[in-house]
Amino acid sequence: MDQLLQAISTGLLVGLTYAGLGVGFSLTWGATGVINAAHTSVAVLGAYLGYIALDRWGVDPLVALVGIVPLAFFAGWGFFEALLRPLKRRVRLVGMASVVLTLGVALVLESLTTVAFTADPRVVRTGYTGAGLALGPVRVGGGPLAAAVMSLVMLAAVYRFRQGTYTGRALRALEQEPEGAALTGIDVRRTSGIATGIGFATAAASGVALSLVYAFSPTTFLPWLVLTFLVVILGGVGTVLGVTVAGLITGLTVSVVALWIPFAWTNFVLFVVLILVLLARPTGLTTR
C-beta of 20: minimal distance to another protein in Å?
19
For another protein, which is the closer residue by CB, 107 or 152?
107
For another protein, which is the closer residue by CB, 56 or 92?
92
For another protein, which is the closer residue by CB, 8 or 182?
182
Residues 49-88 that bind another protein (CB under 8 A): 83, 86-88
In this chain, which of 8, 97, 256, 258 binds another protein, going by CB under 8 A? Answer: 97
Rounded-to-integer distance, Cα 180 and Cα 157, Å:
26
Which residues, 6+ apart, have CB-to-CB distance to 106 below 8 Å?
37, 38, 40, 41, 221, 225
**Span near another protein by CB under 8 A; candidates 11-19, 55-63, 101-109, 250-258:** 101-109
* Radius of gyration from C-alpha coordinates of the chain: 19
Q: Is 107 in the site for another protein (CB under 8 A)?
A: yes
Q: Is 258 in the site for another protein (CB under 8 A)?
A: no
Residues 112-151 that bind another protein (CB under 8 A): 112, 114-115
Query: Which 3 state secondary structure label does DSSP give 134?
Result: strand
Q: Is 229 in the site for another protein (CB under 8 A)?
A: yes
CA angle 111, 221, 21 (to 5 degrees): 140
CB 200 within 8 A of CB 21: no
Q: Is 8 in the site for another protein (CB under 8 A)?
A: no
**Span near another protein by CB under 8 A; candidates 13-21, 195-203, 224-232, 239-247:** 224-232
Q: Is 219 in the site for another protein (CB under 8 A)?
A: no
Which residues, 6+ apart, have CB-to-CB distance to 218 below 8 Å?
44, 110, 111, 113, 114, 117, 119
In this chain, which of 105, 149, 152, 256 binds another protein, going by CB under 8 A? Answer: 105
Whole-angstrom CA distances from 204 to 21, 200, 216, 249 are 9, 6, 13, 23
Q: Is 89 in the site for another protein (CB under 8 A)?
A: yes
In this chain, which of 1, 127, 136, 179 binds another protein, going by CB under 8 A? Answer: 179
CB 195 within 8 A of CB 31: yes
Strands 132-135 and 138-141 turn out to be antiparallel
What would you measure as the largest C-alpha separation in the chain, in angstroms? Answer: 59
What helix, strand, coil percent values describe the chain, rounded to 5?
80, 5, 20
Binding site for another protein (CB under 8 A): 29, 35, 83, 86-93, 95-97, 99-101, 103-108, 110-112, 114-115, 178-179, 182, 188, 222, 226, 229-230, 233, 262, 264-265, 267-268, 271-272, 274-275, 278-279, 282-283
